[in-house]
């Protein structure tokens, strides 16, 4: 509990210091007396945490040695590493607010991102063509992941990865996960793929053009340039793009199959069929009146499911197996649709045709928990109340909607909450 409050304590002390620092001495400088208490307290807290982290690292090194990490690697990696309060602050204060799908897609496939993506694909055309030929993964999808993860390499992250992971592992909230990432990062350094000073990324340890976490890097990263290193941090994105294609290929990418296509549902459509586990051939969906935006039955890309990311009031998509492959990169539906739609736009595709229920007031985090509590009390939900809308909550919403005879789109909304109340 002391560590979890450190950042707010430090910030409070720093803000408290500002007035004292501004007090001038008779000689025109800053009065030492004004610094004597608050800054000493901040420095003491910082020194205490640095010392505690150093002790933790000493214990961790023994565990790392058992994993085959050499003393040379450990000494290089941990030289100058200190407790990073800003990393803990970001871990503690991740926003509970999630953008609505239409807001997310407005950003994911914004005109600027599409324009920059087209330019990036033109610049690296030979590389992307070679990667597509080797791995069988659509180059537009690889470029779209690149665009969402780092704005085509412009924002790769500048946080020292070893320091960030050590701080998070020591902190303990997700200690086991971050310790595993730290071991993997040390293995990367020991392999010679990069150096400690060059190993930078996000506050949580995601690295390079397409933001691989260390364990995924070890499992899936490849040497795209043939120089003997898997350098996803370089200004040259070849290794990162090849690694992303290799990742998708290893997770079952189907060559020539889209992630999904936008569709139009007929009047009177049975929304209980709009489930991830209800898959049918496009021709069978066509018999139920489901059509592409061109008014034709969707081509036979394989069995697909109907996805309604904004419920019955928004766009509908027929999604295929490649949707689940992209989902291995990031499980959020919004992310997968964002990658898919951006890839379509980079390939000359049109914007999403359906309208979204803009102006809709989403459920707050607490309202989502309230909704889950009521669903649980009424016997529709057999899961924890956590404010996160996963498949179990969606199915519980559908069951409740069915019980009162309203559209079974599984979508959490203010209207649904009113019905529950």
Residues 174-227: tens digit of each pLDDT: 899 999 999 999 999 999 999 999 999 999 999 999 999 999 999 999 999 999
Q: Does residue 272 lie in a domain region?
A: no
Confidence of residue 25 (pLDDT cuts 50, 70, 90): very low
Q: Does residue 384 lie in a domain region?
A: yes
Q: Does residue 225 lie in a domain region?
A: yes
| Distance between CA atoms of residues 103 and 334, nearest Å | 10
Q: Determine which of 25-29, 169-173, 327-331 has the lowest per-residue pLDDT on average.
A: 25-29
Q: Does residue 178 lie in a domain region?
A: yes
Q: How far is CA 65 from CA 31, 58, 70, 71, 277, in A?
A: 49, 11, 6, 8, 45
Output the domain CATH number for residue 172: 1.10.8.350
Q: Judge if 166 and 244 occupy the same domain.
A: yes
For residue 23, is pLDDT > 70?
A: no
| Distance between CA atoms of residues 18 and 38, nearest Å | 10
Q: Which residue from 412, 360, 406 is spatially nearest to 381, judged by alpha carbons?
A: 412
| Counted domains in the chain | 3
Q: Does residue 369 lie in a domain region?
A: yes
Give me the pLDDT at residue 20, please: 31
| Distance between CA atoms of residues 394 and 372, nearest Å | 10
Give the residue numbers spanning the domain of 413. 365-420
Number of CB atoms found within 10 A of residue 397's CB: 26
| Distance between CA atoms of residues 206 and 203, nearest Å | 8
Helix/strand/coil percentages in the chain, nearest 5: 55, 5, 40
For residue 15, is pLDDT > 50?
A: no
pLDDT, one tens digit per residue, over 113-143 is 999 999 999 999 999 999 999 999 999 999 9
pTM for this model (two decimals): 0.82
95 HSE (CA, 13 A, CB side):
4
Answer with the one of 92, 114, 147 that is the final residue of a domain: 92
Answer with the one of 203, 222, 250 that is the final residue of a domain: 250
Residue 308: DSSP 8-state: -
Number of CB atoms found within 10 A of residue 2's CB: 10
Rg (alpha carbons) of the chain, rounded to whole number: 25
Answer with the one of 221, 250, 279 that is the final residue of a domain: 250
| Distance between CA atoms of residues 34 and 41, nearest Å | 13
Give me the pLDDT at residue 388, please: 83
Q: Does residue 74 lie in a domain region?
A: yes
For residue 329, is pLDDT > 50?
A: yes
Q: Which residue from 275, 262, 270 is spatially nearest to 391, judged by alpha carbons?
A: 275
């Amino acid at each position: 509990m002391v560590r979890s409050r450190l950042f707010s304590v430090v910030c409070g002390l720093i803000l408290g210091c500002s007035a004292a620092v501004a007090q001038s001495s008779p000689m025109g400088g800053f009065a030492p007396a004004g610094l004597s208490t608050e800054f000493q307290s901040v420095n003491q807290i910082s020194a205490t945490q640095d010392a505690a982290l150093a002790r933790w690292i000493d214990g961790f090194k023994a565990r790392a040695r058992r994993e085959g990490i050499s003393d040379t690697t450990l000494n290089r990696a941990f030289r100058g590493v200190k407790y990073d309060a800003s990393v803990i602050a970001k871990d503690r204060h991740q926003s509970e607010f999630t953008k609505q799908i239409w807001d997310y897609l407005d950003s994911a496939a914004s005109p600027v991102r599409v324009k920059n993506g087209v330019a990036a694909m033109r610049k690296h055309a030979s590389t992307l063509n070679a990667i597509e030929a080797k791995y069988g993964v659509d180059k537009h999808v690889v470029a779209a992941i690149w665009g969402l993860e780092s704005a085509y390499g412009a924002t790769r992250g500048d946080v020292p990865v070893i320091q960030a992971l050590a701080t998070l592992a020591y902190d303990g909230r997700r200690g086991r996960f971050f310790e595993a990432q730290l071991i993997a990062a040390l293995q990367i350094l020991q392999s010679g793929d990069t150096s400690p000073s060059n190993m930078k990324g996000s506050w949580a340890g995601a690295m390079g053009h397409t933001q691989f976490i260390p364990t995924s890097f070890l499992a899936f990263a490849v040497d795209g340039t043939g120089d003997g290193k898997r350098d996803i941090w370089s200004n040259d994105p070849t290794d990162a793009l090849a690694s992303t294609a290799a990742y998708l290929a290893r997770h079952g990418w189907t060559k020539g199959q889209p992630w999904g296509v936008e569709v139009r549902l007929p009047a009177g459509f049975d929304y209980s069929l709009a489930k991830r586990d209800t898959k049918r051939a496009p021709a069978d969906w066509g018999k139920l009146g489901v059509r592409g935006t061109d008014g034709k039955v969707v081509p036979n890309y394989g069995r697909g499911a109907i996805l309604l990311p904004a419920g019955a009031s928004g766009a509908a998509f027929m999604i295929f197996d490649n949707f689940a492959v992209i989902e291995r990169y990031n499980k959020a539906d919004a992310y997968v649709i964002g990658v898919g739609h951006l890839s379509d736009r980079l390939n000359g595709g049109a914007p999403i045709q359906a309208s979204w229920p803009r102006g809709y007031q989403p459920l707050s985090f607490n309202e989502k928990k309230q909704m889950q509590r009521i669903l649980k009390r009424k016997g529709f939900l057999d899961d924890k109340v956590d404010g996160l809308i996963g498949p179990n909550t969606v199915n519980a919403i559908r069951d409740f909607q069915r019980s009162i005879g309203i559209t079974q789109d599984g979508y959490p909304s203010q209207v649904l909450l009113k019905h529950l109340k």
